Amino acid sequence: MTRYIRNYLTNDANRTQLLPANSGIESANIESQIAEYNKQLLQRNSLVANSSAENPLVMDMDQALASMRGAIIRSIDNQIVTLNSQIKSLRQTEQQTTSRIAANPTQAKYLLSVERQQKVKEALYLFLLQKREENELSQAFTAYNTRIVTPPHGSMLPTSPVRKNIFMVAFALGLLIPTVIIFMRENMNTVYGEGKIWRV
């Protein structure tokens, strides 16, 4: 991206074009310079649209924009140098790590085993994830092939409680309870004395 933006800036055909914003360059300075450049360029293009390129204000803005382009190019060159040094350092670290792994067969074997396990687990996870999605789709779009074989029938009256049974039980209890009470009173209403039973 830094090389692309540098080539874009150095191309004379893009002098009146905006620079790509949010390019992903990890430099807040360059991003702020690009934002300021785009802001100034929009003002310059708006002024040209209302007047002409021969306007003294437009010419002053062109000089300021050229100066800003030069500053951005210098910042990008510094960024490219920094990135190249980082890439060189990473490649050296990679070579050292590769040489250490190659010098230790046990460690290489362990890393291969870990890599195989990772691939197996990844494949299993993707398989289970696919099955879960298929199951959810099948549940969401299943057409229920159901039909009524026999229409429902029966009485609309409640099945319980049955009033007839309640009335019969209440009637039986109504006859039984007074009979039991009278029977108990007759049996308990006696006085024992002098060998005779006197009824009260």
Q: What is the pLDDT of residues 74-126, one digit of tens each?
A: 888 888 888 889 899 999 998 888 877 776 777 777 788 888 999 999 999 99
Please state the pTM of the whole predicted model: 0.43
Name the one residue in this structure whose structure tokens are 């029938």: 153
56-71 mean pLDDT: 84
Give the mean model confidence (pLDDT) for residues 171-179.
91
The secondary structure element, H or E, covering residue 200 is none
What are the pLDDT digits (tens) for 160-170? 777 888 889 99
- 7 token code pair: 């080539």
CB 12 within 8 Å of CB 58? no
Above pLDDT 90, what percent of the chain? Answer: 12
b/e sequence 99-130, b meaning 16+ C-beta within 10 Å: eeeeeeeeeeeeeeeeeeeeeeeeeeeeeeee
Which burial class, exposed, middle or buried, applies to 27 when counting CB atoms under 10 A from its CB (0-12, 13-18, 19+)? middle
- Range with lowest mean pLDDT among 14-18, 127-131, 156-160, 194-198: 194-198
Q: What is the pLDDT of residue 23?
A: 67
The pLDDT tens digits of the residues spanning 2-20 come to 888 788 778 777 777 777 7
Look at 20-29, 41-50, 85-94 and tell me which has the smallest mean pLDDT: 20-29
Q: According to the model, what pLDDT value does residue 124 have? A: 92
Which is more confident, 66 or 138? 66
pLDDT surpassing 80 at residue 195 = no
| Cβ atoms of residues 6 and 73 within 8 Å | yes
